Amino acid sequence: MKFWDYNKEKETDSHGVVLVEICDSNLLSTIDAEGILEEEYPAVDVLISDCLSYCGLCAIKPYALVNNKRVFGHSAEQAMDKIRKQIDEELAAFTE
């Protein structure tokens, strides 16, 4: 089955088992979260969106959705650590 990889603007044979969604207006956009996560976790797709409809949270804390679970921190670095932990949990559940 072929999928369109919107992040890389090309067709690919598979998608990651974990989807991380990041709002473009979020504090995580101050770092290259997409590049960092996709390099560290090949089974992860990162989608940067214009809006994820969590405006209150988006305005005060860096956050992402990891397989539709909100993950946030007080800083971009703390949020990234928590996102990595959630990705590890999601990948572990997938391999069981």
- Asked whether the beta carbons of 23 and 49 are under 8 A apart, the reply is yes
Given a cut of 90, is residue 16 above it in pLDDT? Answer: no
Residue 6 lies in a domain: no
Q: Is 25 helix (H, G, I), strand (E, B) or coil?
A: coil
Given a cut of 50, is residue 5 above it in pLDDT? Answer: no
Given a cut of 90, is residue 83 above it in pLDDT? Answer: yes
Which DSSP symbol is given to 30? G
Given a cut of 50, is residue 13 above it in pLDDT? Answer: no
Pairing assessment for the beta strands 18-23 and 44-49 based on DSSP bridges:
parallel
Tally of domains within the chain: 1
Task: Say how far apart CA 62 and CA 72 lie, in whole Å.
Answer: 6
pLDDT of 54: 73
Q: Could you read off the pLDDT of 37-63 as tens digits, one per residue?
A: 999 998 899 998 888 777 777 778 999
Residue 52 lies in a domain: yes
Residue 76 lies in a domain: yes
Compute the mean pLDDT over every residue in the chain, rounded to the nearest whole number: 82
Host domain of residue 44: 17-95
Find where tokens 């990595």 sit.
Answer: 84
Residue 5 lies in a domain: no
Task: Say how far apart CA 42 and CA 62 lie, in whole Å.
Answer: 23
